[in-house]
Structure 1
Amino acid sequence: MRKIKQVSEFQIFDNLEELEEIEKKLIQISIEAAKKAYAPYSNFRVGAAVLLENGEILSGNNQENASYPVGICAERTLLSYANANFPNQKKIKLAISVLDSDQTVSPCGLCRQTLLEYETSQNQPIEIFLHNRKGKVLVIPTAASLLPLYFDKESLIN
């Protein structure tokens, strides 16, 4: 029987100054990535940055398409690139910045499932930092807490 995980603990910071230097840097890189997003239809620019266990930081952004289902979110753009090019590096921290909203914006369902896949495959949590235009940061300790009734490889076992 699987234990259901829920977001029960998270931290909220009113600005970046309250974070550690590596976390500030990660968020700054995600902001820069968001500025380069291709979002001509929604005008909703999202950037993401991931800290790998070797200390390298990679970034990505959302890429829209006139055929809406063809677009890809910043998180999946980044995680796919990271895993394709650094398959043996664990993903330690992930920052997601939204430039066009004052609200705290959380990853969509597809991105939550993707985050969870990488988290479970590496047997180590991925700490998530959600950053909005006002500078507020919500820190979530693990991707699994974003998707309590998640689907994983154990779900495929008969």
Structure 2
Amino acid sequence: MNTLSFSISYQTFDSLDELNASDQTLCKKSEEALSTSYSPYSKFKVGTAILLADGQVVLGSNQENVAYPSGLCAERVALFAIGANNPNAVIKTMAITAFTNNFKIENPVTSCGSCLQVMAECEKRQNSPIEVLFYCIGGQIIKVKSVKSLLPFGFVEDRLGAG
């Protein structure tokens, strides 16, 4: 038997003012994306802003459906839009935020497992890390340098699709 461990490094910031200008802008863009959230059932809006290497910013928001499994998270909405419209784009940074009128969100909201798997696939596809900012409006921001640190045991099977 072997016992192994892993650890991740991440940064925390107490406010937007502590971020560099590019990250501040991306967080504000993720707030803008909240306006297109379709969340009549949960009343929990999620917005994502993705910075591409060419400087373009792509927004996504959660889209619910009365048949709950048929909806889609903000991260996947934006990532799939990039894949469908600009499949060779290189993703540099993602900012993710959330808002609800039902309660005060006091900590950054992180991505679900399905979104993390899709984010990891994008990182693998482009063969370069994607920085992620989890942004709590009016509160803390968590920044990681790579999706891989968020999903160290993500599903990978290199033989799929080969030959």
Secondary structure at 1:154 match in 2 = coil
| Residue in structure 1 matched with residue 23 of structure 2 by the alignment | 23
| Residue in structure 1 matched with residue 152 of structure 2 by the alignment | 148
| Residue in structure 2 matched with residue 117 of structure 1 by the alignment | 121
Q: How far apart are residue 98 of structure 1 and its match?
A: 1.1
* Distance 1:5-1:34 versus aligned 2 partners, 3 A rule: farther
- What is the correspondence of 1:62-81 to structure 2 with a 5 Å cutoff? 62-81=62-81
Structure 1: gaps spanning 5 or more residues: none
| Residue in structure 2 matched with residue 130 of structure 1 by the alignment | 134
TM-score, normalised on structure 2? 0.89
For the 8 Å contact 2:97–2:108, the answer to whether it is kept is no
TM-score, normalised on structure 1? 0.91
CA distance in 2, matches of 1:133, 1:126: 22
* Structure 2 residue identity aligned to 1:49: A
For the 8 Å contact 2:123–2:129, the answer to whether it is kept is yes
* Distance 1:139-1:7 versus aligned 2 partners, 3 A rule: farther
Q: How far apart are residue 34 of structure 1 and its match?
A: 1.3
CA distance in 2, matches of 1:155, 1:42: 39
Q: Kindly, what percent of the aligned residue pairs are identical?
A: 38
Structural RMSD (CA): 1.7
Q: Structure 1, residues 20-64: CA drift from partner, whole Å, max 9, x if none?
A: 111111110100101321111111110001010111111010000
Secondary structure at 2:31 match in 1 = helix
CA distance in 1, matches of 2:11, 2:135: 12
* Distance 1:5-1:30 versus aligned 2 partners, 3 A rule: farther
| Residue in structure 1 matched with residue 109 of structure 2 by the alignment | 105
Which 4+ runs in 1 deviate beyond 4 A? 4-7
For the 8 Å contact 1:46–1:96, the answer to whether it is kept is yes
Q: How far apart are residue 153 of structure 1 and its match?
A: 3.2
CA distance in 2, matches of 1:7, 1:45: 31
The structure with higher relative contact order (CA 8 Å, sep 6+) is 1
Secondary structure at 2:154 match in 1 = coil
CA distance in 2, matches of 1:65, 1:29: 24
* Distance 1:122-1:8 versus aligned 2 partners, 3 A rule: same
